[in-house]
Structure 1
Amino acid sequence: MVGMTERKPWDVPFESWIERQIRLAQERGEFDNLPGAGKPIPHLGDDDELWWVKNKLRAEGLTTEALLPPSLQLRREVQRLPGTIADLPSEQSVRDAVADLNHRIADYLRAPSAPVVPVHRVDADAAVSEWRTRRPDRRI
């Protein structure tokens, strides 16, 4: 792509200059044998305007929840906490999970961002108590 580093002359309109650069590159064969040549652009006809966002999230192994503001993400984590801790093996692991969540809640509360949604710290003793009541009897 030798010509692409060339500067646009001041007296040539942008569109004409760009079209010329493309034409010269085509003549040099710089667009030959590119992947996807001659194929339709994926998702061009889709009705979903956010297809590229969804593809990026999928590629990164994330859910659409990653797009939520921090306050809503934390609130959802608090709501899902009983299910999250249900299979943890020990009381200490439950306390560690609650401590980690509370640490992130405290960080958010120090510098909240919009939208400000009330998020409260979780009582570790209450979480452990609920964990105990939901666990099947695992005495050995």
Structure 2
Amino acid sequence: MTRRKPVDMSFEDWTERQIREAQERGAFSNLAGAGKPIPDLDKPWSAERWAADLARREGVDLSLALPVPLRLRRDRERLLAGLGTLTSEAQVREVVAEFNDSVREAFRRPTTGGPPMTVGLMDVEVVLDRWRAARPAPEPPPVPDLAPPTAARPWWRRWPGPRS
């Protein structure tokens, strides 16, 4: 924690003194980005760009900030693109039912500007047909070897026995 500013010292002198002491301690050495130019310093500052950069750095999903029709359109595209990752018909039915519930909920709410609601319900059977077409065909069972087994002679027959 920093010390309190002495009464007889100005803020500028006190601040400069703390910076100089920190430099002498090596508090500013080996910092990330040392010696590199500050990125995007030539671009004008805006709160929107700062917020978008922060969200990108922190890995925040900004799809919830989209208007509902655009978010539903994006969800529909992601659902159809990710059909290959689903492993059963029950999963496909569940995902489509969740999407259709969110579309129904969006139609129940009044629109407050933004694009019109143009996303409709998805037909489960059509999506299941696409899911079946996207899945690789199952491998046929291995063909059994139909060659007759070679009869091995019992050990006593292989025994050469006494030599005469």
Matches of 2:101 and 2:60 in 1, distance apart? 22
1:108 aligns with 2:106: yes
**1:82 alignment counterpart:** 80
Matches of 1:31 and 1:63 in 2, distance apart? 43
Matches of 1:104 and 1:63 in 2, distance apart? 18
Partner of residue 56 from structure 2, selected from 55, 58, 61: 58
| Contact kept in structure 1, 2:69 and 2:119, CA below 8 Å | yes
Identity of aligned residues (%): 28
> What does 1:33-72 correspond to in 2, within 5 Å?
33=19, 43-46=40-43, 49=46, 50-62=48-60, 65-72=63-70
- How far residue 86 of structure 1 moved from its aligned partner, in angstroms, is 2.0
Q: Aligned letter for 1:123? A: D
Q: Which runs of 5+ in 2 are unaligned?
A: 23-27, 141-164
- Show structure 1 runs of 4+ deviating over 6 A: none
Using CA pairs below 8 Å that are at least 6 residues apart, which structure has the higher relative contact order? 1
Which whole-Å deviations, capped at 9, do the CAs of 1:74-115 have from their partners, x for residues lacking one?
Answer: 012223432122221111111111122122222222213421
Backbone CA RMSD of aligned residues = 3.5
Aligned residues: 118
Task: Assess, with a 3 A threshold, how the Cα gap between structure 1 residues 123 and 60 changes in structure 2: closer, same or farther.
Answer: farther
Tell me the secondary structure at the aligned position of residue 86 of structure 1. helix
- How far residue 54 of structure 1 moved from its aligned partner, in angstroms, is 2.9
- How far residue 43 of structure 1 moved from its aligned partner, in angstroms, is 3.3
Tell me the secondary structure at the aligned position of residue 29 of structure 1. helix
Which has the larger Rg?
Answer: 2
Q: Which runs of 5+ in 1 are unaligned?
A: 4-23
**2:15 alignment counterpart:** 29
